[in-house]
């Protein structure tokens, strides 16, 4: 490319960028203007009427308050947009809407962040001077099994990809850098965040400002922050927990809990940077006793009568009958620790850490290391294995053991584990490997797999069966071994029959618990817990499982669980998958620790050394929204609200009076007047319950389920009118098809999206991103296209209204127009089609809004409606020929249908139609008559003309000849042989609800007397055509009805001028194929109803044969 061309391209790109920027600036100017109108008119401030008898017309929507350690990102925005769109729609339907918004600060992330900043100042000064660190090679060392080299490095194919923990916090290592990354540039400003309370004063107003720029329909008077920093909210949470404890929902005791030793407290979902939803996993810890005469020298001075054990964690204690050996990794470090009741355990240091927090050691959370070994030092030790048919088994090497899971000790059952069999077989066949680790033949060769479980169809040695099936070569065939495990693991557990021992001939699933209990009773095993997967706290600590003394909410309580299930049964959750996720949560949900010793929050009223954790103080706060604006007039509650009540006056009794109908004023000991309290009570009784709560799907297994439990606990069945009515869960939001991540740069905040695409451009793209519980995608190119669509729509409306004004001014008052331009003109065919399409859009869009399917809303209420407008414009040959009255109807309907999603643009356009009015005062449009036959006929006309136009272009190009005349051939009926096939296909489909294989259909229609032999080769193509029609109609067999809903011939005749104009023809004829003029033409039997064919010609070629052209068109249609 030469310099001149480069300059030209660069110049054109700059011009396009300027045009795009100018459109963005224009739309942002409109948004700011409209937002000021809304604010001035206080459209979104909603108060309960002082007198009412029926509150069915109210609509109360809430979104889980976001955490105040940063600005909102696009993922937050996607979830809350569901609430926003629902609120906008319900306003148009005439509902009295309330959408409040709070700010969450409970928990440990904020104080943890503040403490990190303090430590960084102490360590690196102020402003901190952080060290520059070199990037480390991300390869990992592995051991070559043949002993050639143990320094080989494997290229890490995932290099550059960060863990989920890093992805959550970005690539910044220091908290100071994190604060910079979220837009806080000043070091002096960052220093203020060493005070946790500063976070609570800084972020809420910034978040509110961002959401106002989005155009959120929130009543900001009701906003608040949580924790005891806000004395009113603090009082409310204490009231809630008073009733939970009084109702027996809160208990104290030891429970297995995910725990952070560094933070010295349980690590629940909101305390984690990774591992949300991970639960404690129960293992059976098998005690493999080292025979007394072979105890390692390092332990001889420490051995006890209780013995020395290698301890292996297993999920399958019932397979212990098949133990042949014990596995250790040669290069993993193992330690020996004394226990209180079980002798000496040998395991990894990581496992010892877990064990010490589960009361195995003499001091909780601490363990003593008696000796340390490499795995290779313990090879060859003889062991006594519980339940094994071998009296003695030996410690052998396995190279695939991982240190970050289990105890690092693995008991081997090669009959049922392909991994065990592969490692055992490696040792049996590789002499060099045995010699390397000093393994004698007597330790390995006599030990064959023992049949213990019969699994159909794999036999009584299922691991060997799949080992051979997948042609596994060694213990390093990871992919094949994983497939082998997937194939037999669950089948063995659920369908396997035990062949040996006390419970033989019984199903494994039925006796596993009994076998485990027998092992524990005989002190050959014990219960041990680990996290299901890796958990990392927000302080950077790896989570363990600890047995903790703690206050917990007893969600395991069966009677309470049944009451909560009853709430779920009445709840609208919008999808079967969401309901299934709730039901699955109920199945496993158990006690939940509700107390913390570190963090921010409300202190437990009866045990003030503990804070209430963040998932427990956020279950019924929606009720607090109803009175928040009367109690407080600032986020933090440091300024009284209009009720002029002090926090100290909000006693348990006062809260009871507000929230419980059976509480009388006379029973209160308060100086607050009844008039004031009745005002608060009225707000609650009017707005509650929540009509819609919408959130991400990740809150189903915790927050949303806890909300159901707590509502039924505070407002039991006699007050079931306080239970939430609907929960809507959505998937996560991807950005440009990839997960959002600060570390990769694929990340966008709310404010960045507004600045790049405008508020309405962003909102439109969010609505188009996806509706289901599956993950959605925000595409930046799509967002830019949506911005352009909105701008184009505004400019088109201005053009239309200018033309309308001009026509009105130039037309005399007594003029009677007959050309369809003006308001007083009766409607023609195209007008009536467009009117029906407008009415249909109203109906379909309303259905989509009711089901919160916003992608469908855009499909029916914007994209298809805009397409209908474009078709109407084409049919009318431009704006000037369109019915202005109908066009104004379209503009009004379009703005109303799109207003919940793009309120700024729609309000601006609405005010072009109706000056000094706002769409916030408008109502949902009323749908008139929908003539489906009329719509079908017009779609047929447009599709047919487009096809003809395409054929004309192809012919003109191929033959270098201009065609200016044409004949269209139309079939009124199918030929008899096709009618026979259609009728038979309908019978077959209705009997089977599907079509059989084409070979069966071909045989069925072969040599039928109803089908002339000359059509034999045409039968299956026509059958395939019919099948395709049914498939495209979502298996509606009625699509094969032989008559169209309109008269095809009349539609073409009626619109002959339009067709002729569109095809640029001088002359056009339209003929039915059974006319006397067409009887002798060839190939006309291939023309069928709804599929007319056209012959193009010029005057010089009027006698050209029809057959060739018809065959081309016929083949294309097929």
When pLDDT is cut at 50, 70 and 90, the band that residue 151 belongs to is very low
Architecture of domain 224-263+549-729: 3-Layer(aba) Sandwich (3.40)
Q: What is the pLDDT of residues 726-769, one digit of tens each?
A: 999 999 999 999 988 877 889 999 999 999 999 999 999 999 99
DSSP state of 640: B
Instruction: Locate 296 and state its tokens.
Output: 């390692």
Buried-state track 349-361, b at ≥16 Cβ within 10 A, e below 16: bbbbbbbbbbbbb
When pLDDT is cut at 50, 70 and 90, the band that residue 1066 belongs to is very high
Out of 261-265, 535-539, 543-547, 1102-1106, the most confident range is 543-547
Phi, psi at 520, each rounded to 5°: -70, -45
Q: What is the pLDDT of residues 930-971, one digit of tens each?
A: 999 999 999 999 999 999 999 998 888 888 888 889 999 998
Instruction: Say yes or no to pLDDT of 903 above 70.
Output: yes
Phi, psi at 1085, each rounded to 5°: -70, -10
DSSP state of 1039: G
Which has more pLDDT, 267 or 59? 59
Side-chain-side CA neighbours of residue 602 (13 Å): 25
Q: What's the whole-number average pLDDT of the chain?
A: 88
Instruction: Locate 187 and state its tokens.
Output: 């070091």
The class level of CATH for 780-930 reads mainly alpha
Instruction: Say yes or no to pLDDT of 83 above 50.
Output: yes
* pLDDT score, position 331: 96
Which has more pLDDT, 1044 or 432? 432
Cα gap 876→868, rounded to integer Å: 12
The CA-based diameter of the chain, rounded to the nearest angstrom, is 120
CA neighbor of 568 nearest in space, from 590, 586, 588: 586
Instruction: Say yes or no to pLDDT of 826 above 60.
Output: yes
| Burial class for 230, CB neighbours closer than 10 Å (0-12, 13-18, 19+) | buried
When pLDDT is cut at 50, 70 and 90, the band that residue 135 belongs to is very low
Residue 695: strand pairing partners = 729
CA neighbor of 1110 nearest in space, from 1073, 1076, 1059, 1060: 1073
**Mean pLDDT, range 181-209, rounded to an integer:** 95
Instruction: Say yes or no to pLDDT of 36 above 90.
Output: yes
Residue 972: strand pairing partners = none
Q: What percent of the chain has pLDDT over 70?
A: 90
Q: Where are the alpha helices (DSSP H) in 993-1068?
A: 998-1005, 1016-1032, 1048-1054, 1056-1062
| Burial class for 300, CB neighbours closer than 10 Å (0-12, 13-18, 19+) | exposed
Cα gap 618→613, rounded to integer Å: 9
Give yes or no for a contact between 255 and 552, defined as CB atoms under 8 angstroms apart. Answer: yes
Cβ neighbours for 149, distance < 8 A, ≥ 6 positions apart: none
CATH domain 280-447+507-531 topology = Isoleucyl-tRNA Synthetase; domain 2 (3.90.740)
What DSSP letter does each residue of 402-425 carry, written as one string? -TTSTTS-EEE-TTT-HHHHHHHH
Domain assignments of the chain as residue spans, ordered by start: 224-263+549-729, 280-447+507-531, 780-930, 944-1117
Torsion of CA 345, 351, 355, 358, to 10 degrees: -160
Out of 3-7, 111-115, 841-845, 1044-1048, the most confident range is 841-845
Q: What is the pLDDT of residues 467-494, one digit of tens each?
A: 999 999 999 998 999 999 988 888 888 8
Q: Where are the alpha helices (DSSP H) in 851-920?
A: 854-858, 864-875, 884-898, 903-913
DSSP state of 161: P
- Length of the chain in terms of residues written: 1118
What pTM does this model have?
0.79
Which has more pLDDT, 806 or 845? 845
Cα gap 342→523, rounded to integer Å: 8
Query: Other CB atoms closer than 10 Å to residue 181's CB: what's the count?
Result: 15
* pLDDT score, position 596: 86
Cα gap 67→599, rounded to integer Å: 14
Instruction: Say yes or no to pLDDT of 1029 above 90.
Output: no
**Mean pLDDT, range 425-440, rounded to an integer:** 93
Cβ neighbours for 60, distance < 8 A, ≥ 6 positions apart: 97, 98, 622, 687, 688, 689, 690, 691, 692
Q: What is the pLDDT of residues 318-347, one digit of tens each?
A: 999 999 999 999 999 999 999 999 999 999
Phi, psi at 1087, each rounded to 5°: -85, 130
**For residue 1082, what are the CA distances in angstroms to 682, 1073, 1079?**
82, 11, 9
Cα gap 169→166, rounded to integer Å: 5
Query: Other CB atoms closer than 10 Å to residue 209's CB: what's the count?
Result: 11
């Amino acid at each position: 490319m030469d310099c001149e061309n480069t300059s030209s391209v660069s110049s054109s790109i700059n011009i396009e960028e300027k045009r795009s920027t100018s459109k963005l600036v224009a739309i942002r100017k409109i948004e700011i203007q409209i937002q000021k109108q809304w604010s001035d008119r206080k459209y979104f401030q909603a108060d309960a009427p002082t007198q009412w008898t029926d509150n069915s017309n109210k609509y109360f929507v809430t979104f889980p308050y976001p955490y105040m350690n940063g600005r909102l990102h696009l993922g937050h925005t996607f979830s809350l947009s569901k609430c926003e769109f629902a609120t906008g729609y319900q306003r148009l339907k005439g509902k009295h809407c309330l959408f409040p918004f709070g700010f969450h600060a409970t928990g440990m992330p904020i104080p943890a962040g503040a403490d990190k900043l303090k430590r960084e100042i102490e360590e690196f000064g102020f402003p901190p001077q952080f060290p520059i660190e070199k990037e480390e090679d991300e390869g990992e060392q592995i051991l070559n099994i043949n002993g050639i080299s143990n320094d080989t490095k494997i290229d890490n194919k995932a290099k550059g990809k960060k863990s989920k923990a890093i992805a959550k916090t970005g690539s910044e290592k220091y908290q100071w850098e994190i604060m910079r990354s979220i837009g806080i540039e000043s070091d002096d400003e960052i220093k203020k965040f060493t005070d946790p309370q500063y976070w609570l004063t800084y972020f809420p107003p910034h978040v509110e400002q961002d959401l106002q720029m989005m155009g959120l329909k929130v009543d900001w008077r009701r906003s608040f922050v949580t924790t005891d920093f806000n004395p009113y909210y603090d009082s409310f949470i204490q009231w809630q927990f008073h009733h939970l404890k009084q109702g027996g929902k809160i208990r104290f005791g030891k429970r297995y809990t995910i725990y952070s030793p560094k933070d010295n407290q349980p690590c629940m979902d909101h305390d984690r940077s990774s591992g949300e939803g991970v639960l404690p996993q129960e293992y059976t810890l098998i005690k493999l006793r080292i025979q007394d005469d072979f105890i390692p020298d390092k332990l001889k001075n420490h051995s006890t009568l209780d013995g020395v054990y290698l301890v292996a964690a297993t999920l399958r204690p019932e397979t212990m009958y098949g133990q042949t050996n014990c596995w250790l990794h040669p290069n993993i470090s193992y330690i020996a620790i004394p226990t209180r009741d079980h002798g000496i355990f040998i395991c990894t240091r990581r496992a010892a850490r877990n064990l010490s927090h589960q009361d195995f050691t003499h001091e909780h959370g601490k363990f003593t290391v008696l000796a340390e070994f490499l795995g290779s030092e313990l090879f060859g030790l003889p062991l006594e294995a519980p339940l094994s048919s071998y009296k003695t088994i030996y410690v052998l090497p396995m190279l695939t053991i991982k240190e970050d899971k289990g105890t690092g000790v693995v008991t081997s059952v090669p009959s049922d584990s392909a991994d065990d069999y592969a490692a055992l077989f490696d040792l049996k066949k590789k002499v060099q490997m045995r010699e390397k680790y000093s393994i004698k033949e007597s330790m390995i060769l006599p030990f064959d797999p023992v049949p213990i479980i019969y699994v159909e169809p794999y036999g009584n040695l299922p691991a060997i069966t799949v080992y051979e099936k997948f042609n596994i070569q060694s213990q390093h065939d990871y992919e094949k071994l994983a497939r082998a495990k997937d194939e037999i693991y669950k089948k063995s557990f659920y369908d396997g029959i035990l062949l040996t021992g006390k419970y033989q001939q019984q199903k494994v699933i039925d006796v596993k618990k009994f076998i485990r209990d027998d092992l524990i009773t005989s002190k050959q095993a014990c219960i041990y817990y680990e996290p299901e997967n890796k958990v990392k706290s927000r302080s950077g600590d790896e989570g363990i499982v600890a047995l903790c003394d703690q206050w917990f909410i007893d969600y395991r309580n069966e009677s309470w669980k049944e009451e909560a299930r009853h709430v779920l049964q009445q709840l609208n959750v919008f999808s079967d998958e969401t309901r299934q996720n709730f039901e699955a949560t109920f199945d496993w949900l158990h006690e939940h620790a509700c107390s913390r010793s570190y963090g921010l929050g409300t202190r437990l009223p009866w045990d003030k050394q503990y804070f209430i954790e963040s998932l427990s103080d956020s279950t019924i706060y929606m009720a607090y929204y109803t009175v928040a604006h009367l109690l407080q007039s600032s986020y933090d509650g440091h300024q009284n609200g209009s009720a002029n009540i002090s926090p100290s006056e909000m006693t348990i009794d006062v809260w009871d009076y507000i929230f419980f109908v059976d509480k009388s004023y006379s029973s209160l000991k308060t100086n607050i007047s009844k008039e004031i309290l009745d005002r608060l009570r009225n707000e609650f009784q009017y707005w509650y319950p929540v009509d819609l709560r919408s959130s991400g799907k990740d809150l189903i297994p915790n927050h949303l389920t806890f909300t159901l439990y707590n509502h039924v606990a505070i407002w039991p069945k006699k007050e079931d009118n306080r239970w939430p009515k609907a929960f809507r869960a959505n998937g996560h939001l991807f950005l440009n098809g990839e997960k959002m991540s600060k570390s990769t740069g694929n990340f966008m905040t709310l404010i960045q999206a507004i600045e790049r695409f405008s508020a309405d451009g962003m909102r439109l793209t969010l609505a188009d991103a996806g509706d289901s519980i599956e993950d959605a995608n925000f595409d930046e190119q799509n967002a830019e296209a949506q911005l352009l669509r909105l701008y184009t729509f505004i400019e088109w409306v201005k053009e239309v209204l200018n033309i309308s004004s001009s026509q009105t001014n130039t037309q005399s008052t007594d003029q009677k127009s007959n050309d369809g331009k003006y308001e007083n003109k009766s409607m023609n065919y195209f007008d009536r089609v467009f009117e029906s399409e407008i009415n249909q859009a109203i109906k379909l869009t309303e259905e989509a809004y009711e089901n919160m399917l916003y992608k469908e809303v855009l499909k029916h209420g914007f994209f298809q409606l805009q397409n209908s407008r474009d078709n109407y414009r084409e049919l009318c040959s431009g704006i000037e020929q369109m019915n202005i009255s109908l066009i104004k109807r379209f503009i009004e309907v379009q703005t109303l249908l799109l207003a919940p999603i793009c309120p700024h643009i729609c309000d601006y356009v609405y005010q072009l139609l109706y000056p000094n009015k706002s769409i916030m005062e408008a109502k949902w449009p009323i749908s008139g008559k929908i003539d489906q036959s009329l719509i079908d006929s017009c779609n047929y006309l447009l599709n047919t003309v487009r096809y003809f136009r395409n054929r004309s272009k192809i012919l003109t190009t191929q033959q270098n000849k201009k065609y200016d005349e044409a004949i269209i051939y139309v079939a009124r009926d199918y030929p008899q042989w096709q009618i026979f096939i259609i009728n038979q296909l309908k019978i077959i489909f209705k009997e089977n609800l599907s079509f059989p294989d084409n070979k069966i259909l071909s045989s069925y229609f072969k040599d039928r007397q109803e089908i002339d032999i000359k059509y034999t080769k045409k039968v299956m193509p026509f059958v395939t055509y019919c099948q395709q029609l049914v498939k495209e109609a979502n298996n509606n067999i009625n699509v094969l009805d032989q008559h169209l809903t309109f008269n095809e011939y009349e539609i073409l005749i009626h619109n002959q001028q339009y067709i002729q104009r569109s095809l640029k023809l001088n002359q056009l004829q339209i003929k039915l194929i059974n006319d006397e003029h067409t009887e002798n033409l060839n190939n006309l039997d291939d023309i069928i109803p709804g599929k007319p064919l056209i012959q193009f010609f010029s005057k010089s070629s009027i006698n050209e044969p029809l057959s060739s052209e018809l065959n081309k068109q016929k083949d294309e249609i097929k």
